[in-house]
């Protein structure tokens, strides 16, 4: 009692500390099982806080996992969990969508040679038959998953195929019916070029492919609202860096496919521009186990395979912002990840030379 009277602050801290430790220990076996934790560096109670940061709250120990928690644990086949979330928010018959995606005929992995690419496609504009979606060459290994390595399971076949398309040069009015969806990189494009005078931007720092369809963009509403309010002719998407540390290339690709197909279904006339994620600088690349260009390239290679060069196009701004080694040019960035405000113009110019005219 003397303690409590003389040291109330210490007493409260110790009691709460013990409580949070118990939650952390119990949570390690249940809802926080997927939280990374190093006992040498942090107390076990910290998993509760990292969990809260990912919207997994302590009371879910008793009530079961949240849908977000399910989406977090992306190991293995959790397709159903992820997909079940979406119909409610998008009101799109995703189940059929999923089946069509899965049953879609695909070029077998081995047949994607340079020859088959050239057979399929010489000039996108003349091509009547949309390109087929490619299948992965292999599966990600468990070791790659554990080490947050995004496996390059598709190779560059999709990128090569998509690049064969001849894009048109357009003027700024081309973007009058364009919708840009993206993370903080796209925020830079919105804030530091005049594209926002033409196009609509639904972008937010820390956006991930898992949140795109549900996100309520500050003051704007959801993507669904955007598509309901206006007929867009083009939808540009650059999302994928924030979730680099999460799940495998397969998990990411599955969700990405779902998103682009949902967008297509909601706005069938719109051309969807899948933008390869911008790489990071050489300095960041060499010092970061997750946010590095090997992981970015692997995921870009994956999403590039979605391009059919009719409704879905793949474009890669890295062509104009990277140095000879393929890293984001040091001069264009301060934080090794984002373009300095002034260099967003390179991106805008790139987009203006990568238009698709009917």
Partner 1 sequence: MVSFSSLEFLFRFLPIFLIAYFVVPAKYREIMLLIGSLVFYAVGEPVFLLLLILATVMNYYMGMKAWELGEGYTVQPWRLQKRKQIVIAAVVIDVLILAAFKCLSAFVDTALLPLGISFYIFKMISFQADILRGEIWNKPKFKYVALYFTMFPQVVSGPIMRYNEGEFDLDRTCGLEQFEDGLKYFILGLGMKVLLADRLAILWNDLQMIGFQSISTPLAWLGAAGYSLRLYFDFWGYSLMASGLMVMLGYDFIENFNHPYASKSISEFYRRWHVTLGSWFRDYVYIPLGGSRCDKKRIALNLAVVWLLTGIWHGNGFNYVIWGVVLGIMIILEKLVYGKYLQKIPILGNLYVLALIPLTWVVFAITDLKQLGIYFGRLFPLFGDAGIAVNQQDIFKYLSNYGIYLVAGIILCIPAVSGFYEKHRKNPVVIVLLAIVFWLSVYFLSSSAGNPFMYLNF
Closer residue to partner 1 in complex, CB, 242/297: 242
Counting Cβ atoms within 10 Å, is residue 47 exposed (0-12), middle (13-18) or buried (19+)? buried
Q: How far is the CB of 114 from partner 1 (least distance, A)?
A: 34
Q: How far is the CB of 35 from partner 1 (least distance, A)?
A: 10
Q: How far is the CB of 12 from partner 1 (least distance, A)?
A: 5
Q: How far is the CB of 229 from partner 1 (least distance, A)?
A: 23
Closer residue to partner 1 in complex, CB, 75/191: 191
What CA–CA distance (Å, rounded) separates 11 from 100?
Answer: 60
Query: How far, CA to CA in Å, does 110 sit from each of 114, 262, 312?
Result: 11, 29, 23
* Residues in a beta bridge with 234: 178, 271
Closer residue to partner 1 in complex, CB, 202/232: 202
Closer residue to partner 1 in complex, CB, 142/334: 334
The stretches of 30-150 forming alpha helices (DSSP H) are 46-53, 60-63, 67-72, 79-90, 94-103, 114-120, 142-146
* CB contact burial 81-106 (16+ within 10 A = b; e otherwise): ebbebbeeebebebeebbeebeeeee
- Per the CB < 8 A criterion, the answer to whether 262 and 100 are in contact is no
The contacts of residue 342 (CB under 8 Å, 6+ apart) are: 192
Closer residue to partner 1 in complex, CB, 9/103: 9
- Per the CB < 8 A criterion, the answer to whether 226 and 220 are in contact is yes
For partner 1, the binding residues (CB under 8 A) are 2-3, 6-10, 12-13, 16, 20, 40-43, 45-47, 49-50, 52-53, 183-185, 188, 191-193, 205-206, 241-242, 334-335, 337-338, 340-342, 344-345
Q: How far is the CB of 209 from partner 1 (least distance, A)?
A: 13
Closer residue to partner 1 in complex, CB, 124/182: 182
């Amino acid at each position: 009692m003397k303690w409590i009277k003389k040291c109330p602050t210490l007493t409260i801290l110790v009691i709460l500390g013990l409580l949070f430790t118990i939650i952390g220990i119990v949570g390690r076996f249940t809802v926080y099982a997927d939280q990374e934790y190093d006992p040498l560096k942090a107390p076990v109670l910290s998993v509760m806080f990292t969990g809260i940061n990912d919207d997994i709250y302590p009371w879910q120990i008793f009530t079961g996992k949240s849908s977000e928690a399910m989406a977090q644990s992306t190991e293995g086949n959790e397709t159903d969990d992820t997909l079940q979330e979406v119909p409610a928010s998008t009101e799109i018959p995703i189940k059929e969508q999923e089946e069509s995606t899965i049953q879609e005929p695909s070029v077998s992995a081995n047949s994607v040679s340079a020859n088959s690419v050239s057979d399929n496609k010489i000039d996108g504009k003349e091509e009547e038959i949309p390109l087929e979606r490619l299948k992965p060459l292999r599966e990600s290994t468990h070791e790659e998953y554990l080490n947050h390595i995004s496996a390059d399971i598709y190779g560059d076949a999709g990128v090569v195929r998509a690049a064969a398309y001849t894009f048109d040069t357009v003027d700024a009015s081309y973007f009058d019916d364009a919708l840009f969806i993206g993370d903080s990189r796209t925020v830079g494009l919105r804030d530091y070029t005049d594209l926002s005078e033409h196009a609509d931007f639904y972008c937010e720092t820390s956006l991930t492919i898992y949140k795109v369809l549900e996100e309520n963009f500050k003051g704007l509403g959801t993507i669904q609202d955007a598509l309901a309010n206006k007929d867009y002719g083009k939808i540009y998407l650059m999302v994928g860096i924030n979730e680099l540390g999460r799940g495998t290339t397969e998990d990411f690709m599955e969700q990405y496919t779902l998103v682009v197909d949902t967008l297509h279904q909601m706005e069938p006339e719109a051309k969807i521009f899948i933008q390869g994620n911008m790489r990071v600088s050489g300095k960041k690349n060499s010092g970061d186990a997750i946010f590095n260009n090997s992981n970015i390239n692997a995921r870009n290679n994956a999403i590039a395979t979605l391009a059919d060069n009719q409704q879905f196009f793949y474009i890669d701004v890295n062509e104009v912002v990277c140095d000879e080694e393929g890293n984001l040019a040091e001069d264009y960035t301060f934080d090794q990840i984002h373009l300095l405000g002034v260099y967003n113009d390179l991106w805008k110019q790139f987009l203006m030379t990568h238009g698709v005219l009917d």
